[in-house]
Structure 1
């Protein structure tokens, strides 16, 4: 049965955040809010967490997972970024964008695109997500909480708890945070490609 945490959206309780971060370090799979929609998250090196996310969402090996990072300093440890790309990403973050970039050796192999060796990264503009990442001290492996055969992600914490009670370990609820996934921008080949138009404004990249 999943633990349920009701957290203030603008002033999250430190004890609650620390409790959830500790559970992630111990291998927990959580549902948590972001600036686009709710997501599933686990520790970067958690093979069990990855397998559980794949099972919940029925994902194949080609799915791009996202590394949810607190800052550019953290993000830079996991992806290669040249100066032009750095400036473009810097201007758009934190925000509702996921960027696909060449991965460094710090990224576990099972998270990489099988041919391109790339990974998705992003820095959320959400108080609760940022507080969790700050306490955790490392990226959170993340995937949009979009269930199979459904058109939109789950958006209410109580509903997530009700429907995923036996497949996640904790639900962090800060209220409705939207249903539109991030805009996905691929910089992996040195050229900009808009892979998915979502919550982030694409005009800055066009």
Structure 2
């Protein structure tokens, strides 16, 4: 199923259908401020396992990240954030960055890494943040089952044609991007850029 949501004014009926799907343990493809991603409610282990199967990866070894609504929501899922790091997060978010942070107890074990850390995003995209807000839980965020994002994967209709049978709903929020988020590891003494992407590291460091 492909459901359209307007980027600035999401249709309440379609939004309700998507939220019910996530609450029932469904898997959806949705837009972010970078590429289209695939996700589920992080507290639905069967849905997390299903995404791992779709991508052909071991859920215990995968590095899943998830989307929070805003900065205060993000701090629920991380251990204490010191002032310099908080300043950086405030400058960067919402935006095209993924921050790897020490995970709090609220993060499901399945989503934590062995180092007890987790990747968290707050995209500058109203659709995915509204999904998180209405659901009341973070939504898992992982890339589509492709080797790389190319021009055709910016088109939700093509995404639906190729991957619609693998998931329950493709959320059509208009054209997506081809560049992933910039990943910054904040678990050590100094933040380290793990993957350069759409976010400008110099703008926030």
Length-normalised TM-score, structure 2? 0.92
The residue correspondences of 1:94-105 to structure 2 (distance < 5 A) are 94-105=94-105
Structure 1 range deviating more: 152-161 or 188-197: 152-161
Matches within 5 A, 1:160-179: 160-179=159-178
Deviations 1:122-153, CA, capped at 9 Å, x for gaps: 11101211221221121111112242xx3216
**Hey, what does 1:50 align to over in structure 2?**
48
Q: Following TM superposition, by how much is the alpha carbon of 1:205 offset from its aligned partner in structure 2, in angstroms?
A: 4.6
Whole-angstrom CA distance in 2 between matches of 1:67 and 1:198 = 17
Q: Contact 2:54–2:145 (CA<8 Å) still a contact in 1?
A: no
Q: How many residues align?
A: 201
Shift of 1:55: 2.0
Q: Distance in 2 between matches of 1:6 and 1:25?
A: 19
- Unaligned runs of 5+ residues in structure 2 are none
Q: RMSD value over aligned CA atoms?
A: 1.5
**1:81-108 CA distances to partner (integer Å, 9 max, x unpaired)?**
2221111111111000000000011111
Q: Please give the alpha-carbon distance, in whole angstroms, between the structure 1 residues aligned to 2:67 and 2:133.
A: 11
Q: 1: CA distance between counterparts of 2:161 and 2:48?
A: 22
Distance in 2 of aligned mates of 1:11 and 1:205: 29
TM-score (norm 1): 0.92
1:82 aligns with 2:79: no
Structure 1 residue 57, shift from structure 2 partner? 2.1
For 1:11, the equivalent position in structure 2 comes to 9
- CA shift for structure 1 position 166: 2.2
Alignment partner of 1:43: what SS? coil
CA–CA separation in structure 1 for the residues paired with 2:130 and 2:37: 15
User: Offset of 1:58 from its aligned partner?
Assistant: 2.5
The within-5 A match list for 1:178-189 is 178-189=177-188
Distance 2:36 2:164 in 1: 15
Question: Following the alignment from structure 1 to structure 2, what is the Cα–Cα distance between the partners of residues 15 and 113?
Answer: 36
Pair 1:201–1:146, CA change in 2 (3 A): farther
Which residue of 2 is the match for residue 193 of structure 1? 192
Deviation, 1:190, is 3.0
| Over 6 Å off, 4+ runs | none
